[in-house]
Structure 1
Amino acid sequence: MQQIIDVAHNVGPYAQKLADLGVVSVIRYYNISNSSNLPSKCLTKAELTALHAAGLTVAVVFQAGGGANGKLSDLSDANGSRDAKRALKLAADLGQPTGSGLYFAVDHDYVAPGDLAQIVSYFAKVKAELDGRYVLGVYGSGLVARKLHDKGLVDLVWLSGSLGWSGTRSALKDGLWTLFQKDMELDLPFGGIDYDGNVFNAAVAHFGQFAADGPVETPRAVGASATFAITARGGLNLRAGPGESFGVIQKYPLDTLVRGVKQIGDWTQVDIQGDGASDGYMHSSYLKAEIGGLPVALTGSISKTPIDIAQAELSLGVAEVPGPDSNPRIGMYHATTEGGKAPDQTAWCSSFVSYCVEQAGMKGTDSKGARSWHDGEWGQDVTAEPAVGDIVVFSRVGNGDNGGHVAFFQSMTETTITCLGGNQGQRISISSYPKDGIKGPFHYKLLSIRRA
């Protein structure tokens, strides 16, 4: 069962069953009035109390038409003020804590400049009415989300599961999202209720959800898994094991989204149903990362230490992507440090070390700054007697930069240190650096060598 679900029905009577199935958070609706088709769409105090009593957090989206089927008049300036006032009244009546999120829906793929301008105007009215009491979010396409985000109108982005909508794939790739409605129109095993499953962006702290006692942050592991799209034009087989000798369970068509569980050689163990359990294996060559990536599986008797993780990542040939695009795997490294996912152009040597340290079950510095490993006195100083896998920290000055570099120790001479690290020549590589001297446009100086 997906951990974060959205549903347009009263699920209060099933709150404990949802929790028992592994649901962590339920997204529900505010509106102007319920319809005959969805008589319990609007969240009530009784339902909210039941959800919280079962230990579930709740997030809320407002939708009164939401411009569905191209009805832009739903998103007029007047309705922006009206909808925000209605949302504020419902939030007050239900006791939704200030500082939590309020999403407003744009339920259509709008692309015309005039339409987008009107949506911007609608959200400006909403934001003015909210007056900072709640964190404003949008549900809709990547294009709409980007327009609103660039205008400074929204902080939370919930992308519709319709990947054909304008700008959604690029928003996912760029990290411009908080939630992604990956699994649509599923059925609960009780109550005759349909729901959607959502993926949470681990690079952000929360998606606006709240508990009975206030807004809460999201544990990094909740709902945050690598998502891949099938690139094989003729579809891709789901097999019972990691090899062509295993039987075919089913073939899935081009562009189907699957969640990765782990990587085994040339194969990826995948979760088709979005419930966190493995459904089989697909060949990795025909899977393109849309969100994040997967750790490399370590096999045999190798212990799981940071340098083991680093060496496994080195074997993947991870490098920056030329042009405006970014490598989603580098984004995955950045997600382990404060500020979350960032483009390739953001220095990522510290994020790479942080990722390796966290994968080995330890805590890093939570900083994208290389010198944080020295300045924060991480671990113990072993500069006098370093060993392979220790963490080397340099200062780096020149070319307008006064920062540093951090990587894993490999070997040392009287004047140089050889390191395995990220962002070395815009890739993961093994390179040598002077203990105190010039390399390229920079002057490097060893600060310390650290060990957990």
Structure 2
Amino acid sequence: MIKGFDCSTPLTAQTAAAFVNDGYLFVARYLVPSGYKALTKSEADTISEAGLQIVSVFETTANRALGGRSAGLADGATAVQVAHDLGQPPGSCIYFAVDFDASSAQMPTIIAYLRAASEATPEYTTGVYGSYAVMEAVRNVGACSHFWQTYAWSGGKKSNFINIYQYLNDVVEHGIGVDYDESYGKEGWWSTITVPEPPESYPLSPKDANVIIPFLSAGYEATSSTAAREEFHRLANELRRVSGQPEQ
């Protein structure tokens, strides 16, 4: 379990650092084009530099998903543009919010919205935020791949496949209002800081390889068999390869 939170208030370097010091590893922020709650590129950089991962959630109004397919296509296109502006990397997730107590009769419209949003965001994975009923209905038809459940409207039920769980709302911490979340893997979060590729490692050190190669060279010199010499040469080059040295 990983500790996180979501908020509508932009984070400063000071507040982001304070949450990191308290053991938080991620924050969910709003991927919307404008308004007081919108994540900006400078804030995304601030959050990333503090050491927090970012979860992107698209929400303009609580019941926007009731706009169905046409709303999903429009919101998906907007979300992609904002994600590009923020530097959100392809392959990470954009969650679309169903922030109300959705009824079973409304699920087909919600599913159409999510499918359209996913269609409009091909370079990103698609997630949904909502109640237990939303999680179950959306997963049953495969409308998206990531799931962020809220305890609200869930009647104490919790889906067993979710990536993120929001378990408490409207808490004030470090001077801002937040909701508490926990995550369980494959959240689809991101950062503006590129992690460098680790240096290539080799199973054998050059020093050890160069201790063994002379024995192969001695065998090479001791035989007149062309096939045997080719094999000694191949083995020596194999040792060079696995120790990161150029072949000869």
Give the TM-score normalised by structure 1. 0.41
Cα shift at 1:211: 2.3
> Can you list the C-alpha shifts for 1:220-258, whole angstroms capped at 9, x where unaligned?
xxxxxxxxxxxxxxxxxxxxxxxxxxxxxxxxxxxxxxx
**Local SS of the residue matching 2:110:** helix
In the alignment, the residues of structure 2 paired with residue 22 and residue 60 of structure 1 have an alpha-carbon distance, to the nearest angstrom, of 20
Total equivalences in the alignment: 193
Cα shift at 1:213: 4.2
In the alignment, the residues of structure 2 paired with residue 100 and residue 57 of structure 1 have an alpha-carbon distance, to the nearest angstrom, of 11
In the alignment, the residues of structure 2 paired with residue 184 and residue 24 of structure 1 have an alpha-carbon distance, to the nearest angstrom, of 18
Structure 1 match to 2:46: 50
Pairing partner for 2:191 from 198, 208, 211: 211
> Can you list the C-alpha shifts for 1:398-446, whole angstroms capped at 9, x where unaligned?
xxxxxxxxxxxxxxxxxxxxxxxxxxxxxxxxxxxxxxxxxxxxxxxxx
What fraction of aligned residue pairs are identical, expressed as a percent?
25
Structure 2 match to 1:135: 125
Pairing 1:122–2:118 present: no
Structure 2 match to 1:179: 164
Pairing 1:63–2:63 present: no
In the alignment, the residues of structure 2 paired with residue 85 and residue 20 of structure 1 have an alpha-carbon distance, to the nearest angstrom, of 36
Change (3 A) 1:72 1:17: closer
In the alignment, the residues of structure 1 paired with residue 145 and residue 137 of structure 2 have an alpha-carbon distance, to the nearest angstrom, of 12
In the alignment, the residues of structure 2 paired with residue 116 and residue 49 of structure 1 have an alpha-carbon distance, to the nearest angstrom, of 36
**Local SS of the residue matching 1:207:** coil
Contact 1:57 1:209 in 2 (8 A): yes
Q: Report the residue type matching 1:5 in the other structure.
A: F
In the alignment, the residues of structure 1 paired with residue 124 and residue 101 of structure 2 have an alpha-carbon distance, to the nearest angstrom, of 26
Contact 1:30 1:43 in 2 (8 A): yes
Cα shift at 1:18: 1.9
**Bigger RCO (CA 8 Å, 6+ sep):** 2
Structure 2 match to 1:104: 96
Identify unmatched segments of 5+ residues in structure 2.
Answer: 196-248
Matches within 5 A, 1:234-273: none
Pairing 1:198–2:181 present: yes
> Can you list the C-alpha shifts for 1:309-346, whole angstroms capped at 9, x where unaligned?
xxxxxxxxxxxxxxxxxxxxxxxxxxxxxxxxxxxxxx
Contact 2:65 2:113 in 1 (8 A): no
Higher share in strand = 1
Structure 2 match to 1:80: 72
**Local SS of the residue matching 1:3:** strand
Cα shift at 1:72: 6.0
Change (3 A) 1:211 1:107: same
Q: Report the residue type matching 1:157 in the other structure.
A: F
Q: Report the residue type matching 1:137 in the other structure.
A: G
In the alignment, the residues of structure 2 paired with residue 28 and residue 51 of structure 1 have an alpha-carbon distance, to the nearest angstrom, of 10
Contact 2:118 2:125 in 1 (8 A): no
Cα shift at 1:32: 4.5
In the alignment, the residues of structure 2 paired with residue 110 and residue 20 of structure 1 have an alpha-carbon distance, to the nearest angstrom, of 37
Change (3 A) 1:212 1:93: same
Structure 2 match to 1:17: 18
Contact 1:100 1:214 in 2 (8 A): no
Higher share in helix = 2
Q: CA RMSD in A?
A: 2.0
Larger-Rg structure: 2
**Local SS of the residue matching 1:199:** strand
In the alignment, the residues of structure 2 paired with residue 3 and residue 214 of structure 1 have an alpha-carbon distance, to the nearest angstrom, of 22
Cα shift at 1:31: 2.1
Structure 2 match to 1:396: none
Cα shift at 1:53: 0.9
